Chain A
Amino acid sequence: MNTTIMLFLVQDGITNGAIYALLGLALVLVFAVTRVILIPQGEFVTYGALTYASLAAGQMPGTAKLALALGIGAFAFDLFVARKALHGRLVVRSCITNIVLPAIVLALTIYFAAQKPPVAVCIALSLVIVAMIGLYLYRIAFQPLAHTSVLVLLIASVGVHLALQGLGLLFFGAEGQRGPAVLSGAFTAGALRFTGQSITVYAITIAFIVGLWLFFGLTLYGKALRATAVNRLGARLAGIRTTLSGQIAFLLASVIGALSGIMIVPITTLYYDSGFLIGLKGFVAAIIGGLVSYPLTAVAALVVGIVEAFSSFYASNYKEVIVFMLLIPVLLLRSLAAPAVEEEKD
């Protein structure tokens, strides 16, 4: 092989790896805070991507309606839980976040979808829609199970994944879509050609990682999230609600997922079920990071991206197999390094 091809593959790998890194970080975050292994992360990716592509093509995305439907569900859950001690402020607040907000977004979506909105509007609407879906999903599917075991949460997670994938087929159909590039144009440096889109991917990934780092290191809510991950009981004794931490974690994860989707969809055609495999690669990185280490996850994600790029060049039929085989030596080493760990009991 010559150096040019190698450089191309590395570049391609890093572009994909950057996206896997974001997804992997979101998985680690959600697991640390809520103990949920977020399999529907992939659906956040497809929902973000396809909502964006639909809007850009002047079509009405079904996800906006789903957000409102889930919001109504979340509102019902709130009322049911507080049924013995209902007071006005709680009802009003829940109604605003769960019903009024998605209703406004739905109205905006209907308004804009009819007139092929500019790229920025498409991005903003897609992010908000998917963020709301993430938030309400936590309320409906995971918050009521928060005290159960990791296994129960995992099964709920699989259920949510299947449901969202089915709904994705309903909303977007079986055909794939592509979206417009966020940043068009390109420039060449030596043998490499950088498209505006790949620059966008790098810039957003780096900005997000720096942003997350600042959020966790400096802000009270970021610290509260870390505290919940480190010691759930300790956090509750400090007055930090586990549900609040869970909401923030899911909100971040869904925004990261949707953003990743919006970055991928101008490069690759995405289908309603493409997200699963993409999310799974983020998951491979997260597992290599032991579901706890953020830096290790980010590095592992770049490795996953590069291995994938090379294997699709040499043995494209086996590229997924090769990527997932990365897990075997890692799991083997980890199981040797750490003796059987009992599941935490709280």
Chain B
Amino acid sequence: MSALLSVTDAHVAYGKVEAVRSVSLEVGTNEIVTIVGANGAGKTTLLSAIMGILPLKGRVAFAGQDLARLDIEDRVAMGLGLVPEHRELFVTMNVEDNLELGAFRIERSRAKSSIERVYALFPRLKERRKQLAGTLSGGEQQMLAMGRALMGEPKLLMLDEPSLGLAPIIVADIFRIVTELRAAGVSVLLVEQNAQAALKIADHAYVMELGEFVLSGKASDIAANERVAASYLGFQHEGASAI
């Protein structure tokens, strides 16, 4: 079976500086794939380029279709969703409006039931549905950003650093929800600095360093590889503290 998302030999550059070099990756249906690596490795750049925010040289295909000529909005309509690092919420609008707009491309009747599903996934959002998005806590904003992306009924959800700046309890919650998404038939491409947590829930993993993939394989193998852990991920096994 062909992959849901396949990226072949992708290059992304800011002017003359290549931030991503010759990267290839695949995400299958019902799969969580993670890209781990240090700050500045090019992970966010890669996700932005897959979404169409940045120009990409190479080939990106989603659900068997080449994305080269499609805008961000077309990619959203095809079922590709991105929860960006800075969340990009509509801060002066309330939670419910933010969610409703996430389903801008979806039929009104279906949007009604998706909003209930999102509330079931994130009960906190239901409690705060009339509150302005800008007044939510960091964790709630992250949930809202994920909820808004889910309202667009994505086949593949790309999450950029969902744990950034959040308390450990909330991070655990968000990772639990990511696994629930897979069970609900949504594939996930997860970019994380918190490699340990990401590798625990992912099926497949890529390790990124200075714009290139230096390693890929089953997430459990990558996590178990001590040399990899020490040199690329910045942590050691068995209780050693993170660097």
A contacts, CB < 8 Å to B: 84-85, 220, 223-224, 226-227, 230-231, 233-241
Contact, CB under 8 Å: B73 / A226? no
Closest residue of chain B to A232, judged by CB? B88
Instruction: Kindly state the separation between the CA atoms of A233 and B84 in the bound complex, as whole angstroms.
Output: 10
Q: Which of B92-100, B209-217, B228-236 faces chain A?
A: B92-100
Q: Tell me the B49-97 residues at the A interface (CB within 8 Å).
A: 51, 53, 69, 71-73, 76-77, 81-82, 84, 87-93, 97
Top-5 shortest CB links A-B? A234-B88, A239-B76, A239-B105, A236-B72, A230-B90
Contact, CB under 8 Å: A224 / B101? yes
Q: Tell me the B2-40 residues at the A interface (CB within 8 Å).
A: none
Contact, CB under 8 Å: B88 / A233? yes
Instruction: Kindly state the separation between the CA atoms of A206 and B218 in the bound complex, as whole angstroms.
Output: 64
Residue B42, interface by CB 8 Å: no
Closest residue of chain B to A346, judged by CB? B53
Q: In the complex, what residues of B have CB within 8 A of residue A239's CB?
A: 73, 76-77, 104-105, 152
Contact, CB under 8 Å: B89 / A234? yes
Q: In the complex, what residues of B have CB within 8 A of residue A234's CB?
A: 87-90
Instruction: Kindly state the separation between the CA atoms of A237 and B101 in the bound complex, as whole angstroms.
Output: 10
Contact, CB under 8 Å: B101 / A223? yes
Instruction: Kindly state the separation between the CA atoms of A18 and B222 in the bound complex, as whole angstroms.
Output: 68
Q: In the complex, what residues of B have CB within 8 A of residue A84's CB?
A: 69
Residue B139, interface by CB 8 Å: no
Residue B186, interface by CB 8 Å: no
Residue B115, interface by CB 8 Å: no
Q: In the complex, what residues of A have CB within 8 A of residue B149's CB?
A: 237
Closest residue of chain B to A244, judged by CB? B73
A236 → chain B closest CB, angstroms: 5
Instruction: Kindly state the separation between the CA atoms of A231 and B89 in the bound complex, as whole angstroms.
Output: 7
Closest residue of chain A to B53, judged by CB? A233
Q: Which of B51, B69, B91, B152 makes the CB contact (< 8 A) with A238?
A: B152
Instruction: Kindly state the separation between the CA atoms of A338 and B176 in the bound complex, as whole angstroms.
Output: 43
Closest residue of chain B to A233, judged by CB? B88
B contacts, CB < 8 Å to A: 51, 53, 69, 71-73, 76-77, 81-82, 84, 87-93, 97, 100-102, 104-105, 108, 148-149, 151-152
Closest residue of chain B to A82, judged by CB? B69
A156 → chain B closest CB, angstroms: 22
A90 → chain B closest CB, angstroms: 13
Instruction: Kindly state the separation between the CA atoms of A288 and B100 in the bound complex, as whole angstroms.
Output: 33
Contact, CB under 8 Å: A223 / B73? no
Q: In the complex, what residues of A have CB within 8 A of residue B87's CB?
A: 234
Contact, CB under 8 Å: A226 / B93? yes
Q: In the complex, what residues of B have CB within 8 A of residue A231's CB?
A: 88-91
Contact, CB under 8 Å: A230 / B91? yes
Contact, CB under 8 Å: A237 / B72? yes
Closest residue of chain A to B106, judged by CB? A239
Q: In the complex, what residues of B have CB within 8 A of residue A236's CB?
A: 71-73, 76
Instruction: Kindly state the separation between the CA atoms of A237 and B12 in the bound complex, as whole angstroms.
Output: 20
Q: In the complex, what residues of B have CB within 8 A of residue A224's CB?
A: 101, 104
Q: Which of A226, A230, A238 makes the CB contact (< 8 A) with B104?
A: A238
Instruction: Kindly state the separation between the CA atoms of A46 and B149 in the bound complex, as whole angstroms.
Output: 44
A108 → chain B closest CB, angstroms: 34
5 CB contacts below 8 A, A to B, read A220-B104, A224-B104, A226-B90, A237-B72, A237-B81
* 8 further contact pairs, Cβ within 8 A, besides A226-B90, A231-B91, A239-B105: A223-B97, A224-B104, A226-B93, A227-B93, A234-B88, A237-B82, A238-B76, A240-B101
Q: In the complex, what residues of B have CB within 8 A of residue A241's CB?
A: 71, 73
Q: In the complex, what residues of B have CB within 8 A of residue A223's CB?
A: 93, 97, 100-101
Instruction: Kindly state the separation between the CA atoms of A161 and B101 in the bound complex, as whole angstroms.
Output: 34
Q: In the complex, what residues of B have CB within 8 A of residue A85's CB?
A: 69
Q: Which of A226, A235, A237 makes the CB contact (< 8 A) with B51?
A: A237
Contact, CB under 8 Å: B91 / A237? no
Q: Which of A220, A227, A230, A240 makes the CB contact (< 8 A) with B73?
A: A240
Q: In the complex, what residues of B have CB within 8 A of residue A240's CB?
A: 73, 101, 104
B110 → chain A closest CB, angstroms: 14
Q: In the complex, what residues of B have CB within 8 A of residue A238's CB?
A: 76, 101-102, 104, 148, 151-152
Q: In the complex where A85-B69, A220-B100, A220-B104 touch, is A237 in contact with B92 (Cβ < 8 A)?
A: no
Instruction: Kindly state the separation between the CA atoms of A275 and B100 in the bound complex, as whole angstroms.
Output: 39
Closest residue of chain B to A241, judged by CB? B73
Instruction: Kindly state the separation between the CA atoms of A241 and B77 in the bound complex, as whole angstroms.
Output: 11
Q: In the complex, what residues of B have CB within 8 A of residue A230's CB?
A: 90-93
Contact, CB under 8 Å: B101 / A235? yes
Q: In the complex where A237-B149, A238-B148 touch, is A227 in contact with B88 (Cβ < 8 A)?
A: no
Instruction: Kindly state the separation between the CA atoms of A226 and B133 in the bound complex, as whole angstroms.
Output: 14
Q: In the complex, what residues of A have CB within 8 A of residue B69's CB?
A: 84-85
B124 → chain A closest CB, angstroms: 20
Instruction: Kindly state the separation between the CA atoms of A237 and B80 in the bound complex, as whole angstroms.
Output: 9
B71 → chain A closest CB, angstroms: 8
Instruction: Kindly state the separation between the CA atoms of A236 and B70 in the bound complex, as whole angstroms.
Output: 13
Q: Which of A220, A227, A237 makes the CB contact (< 8 A) with B84?
A: A237
Instruction: Kindly state the separation between the CA atoms of A102 and B151 in the bound complex, as whole angstroms.
Output: 38
Q: In the complex, what residues of B have CB within 8 A of residue A227's CB?
A: 90, 93, 97, 101
Instruction: Kindly state the separation between the CA atoms of A227 and B100 in the bound complex, as whole angstroms.
Output: 11
